[in-house]
């Protein structure tokens, strides 16, 4: 189905609502709007709300299509509400929170979800802060903005498996303690998600949005965190729970981590293996350690070890599949 046709169908479902396409995936199209669905007094030119629309698929039987749309929209909405109820604050470390956009409204039969906008727009190369969703403060764009600071002659000579020197890491590449701490915090948040027995299903650096919060530092933690507890003033929000599901299976959690590893390698190949993925997994381990310490229950430590062992097996399966083709 063409994008124009999808937009026309969305406008029929949302009359008098200004819509601007942000992105389009295989399953859904994302719009931004300045209109609140049921509180018009909150509407202003500076307001941004996100509308996720699952259009009908012409290749599916109409009855089956409606059932799938209803199920996936309902499932995503329920998981967002569950995470909101389980997270009593925005404290990822001490309260075990998982930060997600607030669910504002849903139209389940028509596949519509209205969400809070999180994040901000990163500065473009000219230093102008433009409202361009290609430049949203996703983890991917944030890391790319740092990686672009590498001098071209160094960048062109680096290979994926190169180990970068400490001096180069600090002075040129700017992969500093703030980045390490931020990725550690994201690892802790993913651990919190899995402790709730929820698997994201599509963990990528594009589906982690960074929200400015200058008051938040990594307090109450001294495991794998540098003395500088700053995260560059960011809190990570997980988005796009369209493929998420509830599961307490070790296999599902290991696959979730494996998909994240592969996504990081795909978008940040120079620094994924030796830095980014190492820091994320260190944070993941820390999340289980914190839960174990808080509840005085060593079963969380054992659960983490079991997940990582299974992750090793999943990696082997992935390599074998790549070799066979």
Q: What is the DSSP string of 208-258?
A: EEEEE-TT---TT--SS--S----TTEEEEE---TT-EE---HHHHHHHHH
Instruction: Give me the catalytic one of 161, 202, 240, 256.
Output: 202
* Rounded Cα–Cα distance for residues 164 and 70 (Å): 49
CA 43 to chain centre: 27
* Rounded Cα–Cα distance for residues 182 and 188 (Å): 10
Residues 6+ apart with CB under 8 A from 137: 119, 120, 121, 122, 209, 210, 211, 212, 234
202 is catalytic: yes
* Rounded Cα–Cα distance for residues 292 and 6 (Å): 48
The packing angle between helices 277-295 and 250-267, to 10°, is 150
Distant-in-sequence contacts of 104-108, Cβ < 8 A, 24+ apart: 104/36, 104/37, 104/49, 105/37, 105/38, 106/73, 106/77, 107/13, 108/70, 108/73, 108/74, 108/77
**Residue whose C-alpha is closest to residue 45's, from 34, 36, 32:** 34
Task: Provide the CB-side half-sphere exposure for 286 (13 A, CA).
Answer: 24
Active site residues: 202
């Amino acid at each position: 189905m063409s994008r124009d046709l999808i937009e026309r169908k969305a406008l029929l479902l949302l009359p008098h609502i200004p819509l601007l396409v942000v992105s389009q995936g295989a399953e859904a199209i994302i719009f931004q709007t300045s209109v609140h669905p049921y509180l018009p007094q909150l509407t202003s030119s500076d307001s941004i709300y996100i509308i996720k629309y699952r259009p009908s698929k012409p290749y599916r039987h109409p009855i089956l299509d409606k059932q799938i749309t209803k199920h996936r929209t309902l499932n995503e909405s329920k998981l967002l509400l569950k995470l909101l109820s389980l997270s009593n604050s925005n404290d990822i470390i001490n309260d075990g929170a998982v930060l997600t956009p607030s669910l504002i409204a849903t139209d389940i039969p028509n596949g519509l979800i209205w969400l809070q906008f999180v994040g901000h727009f990163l500065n473009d190369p000219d230093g102008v802060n433009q409202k361009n969703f290609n430049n949203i403060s996703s983890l991917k764009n944030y890391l790319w903005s740092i990686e672009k600071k590498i001098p071209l002659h160094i960048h062109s000579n680096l290979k994926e498996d190169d180990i970068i020197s400490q001096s180069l890491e600090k002075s040129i590449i700017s992969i500093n303690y703030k980045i390490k701490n931020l990725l550690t915090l994201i690892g802790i948040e993913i651990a919190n998600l899995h402790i709730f027995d929820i698997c994201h299903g599509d963990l990528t650096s594009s589906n982690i949005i960074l929200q400015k919060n200058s008051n938040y530092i990594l307090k109450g933690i001294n495991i794998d965190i540098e003395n500088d507890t700053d995260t560059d003033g960011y809190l990570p929000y997980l988005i796009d729970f369209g493929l998420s599901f509830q599961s307490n299976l070790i296999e599902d959690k290991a696959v979730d981590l494996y998909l994240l590893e592969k996504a990081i390698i795909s978008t940040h190949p120079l620094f994924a293996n030796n830095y980014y993925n190492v820091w994320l997994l260190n944070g993941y381990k820390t999340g289980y350690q914190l839960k174990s310490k808080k509840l005085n229950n060593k079963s969380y430590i054992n659960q983490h070890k079991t997940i990582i062992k299974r992750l090793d097996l999943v990696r082997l399966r992935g390599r074998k599949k790549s070799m066979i083709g």
